[in-house]
Amino acid sequence: MRPARWDTESVRQAFVHDAVVTMEADGDARAPGGAITVALCGHWDHEPPCPLAPHSTDAQRSGDQVRLRVLFAAEPTAETEVRGRIDAALSRGSLTGPDGVTTRWLLRDARPGLLRDDEAEHADRLIRH
């Protein structure tokens, strides 16, 4: 594992942010990722590119826990802002989706993660985005 991926032709680096939330069994596991996109891009439905940090969120549910893995590309000077926005979005604990249904969750943990070798290609695409 490595802490970040660097592209010498870009000032962007790839970073990882891991989080765990709990939610009701019928909650939409995609909602926290939508909240992250709103925090980083202004809306979950926007034209590319992402204005602050191209990103992707993977959500894996196990019972009432949802593990989130956010891979994002940003200039190193923006890393703290991006992580702060991600944490703030998850701390709000809810999102009303396009169907009008509100999903609620509770943030249990959030922290920087390490980029896995199997994420290198995806990280490169985000850096170039």
Among 13-27, 35-49, 98-112, whose mean pLDDT is lowest?
35-49
Q: How many angstroms separate the CA atoms of 19 and 108, rounded?
A: 7
Q: What is the pLDDT of residue 1?
A: 53
Q: Find out whether 98 and 79 touch, Cβ atoms under 8 Å.
A: no
Q: Characterize the bridge pairing of strands 13-23 and 65-74.
A: antiparallel
Q: Find out whether 50 and 70 touch, Cβ atoms under 8 Å.
A: no
The CATH label, of 2.40.10, 2.70.70, 2.60.34, 3.30.70, for the domain at 5-128 is 3.30.70
Whether omega before 49 lies within 30 degrees of 0, making that bond cis, reads yes
Q: Find out whether 82 and 90 touch, Cβ atoms under 8 Å.
A: no
Each residue's pLDDT tens digit, 25-70: 899 999 999 999 999 988 777 777 777 899 999 999 999 999 999 9
Q: What is the pLDDT of residue 11?
A: 87
Residue with tokens 């939409």: 28
What are the boundaries of each domain within the chain? 5-128
pLDDT surpassing 80 at residue 100: yes
Q: Find out whether 97 and 103 touch, Cβ atoms under 8 Å.
A: yes
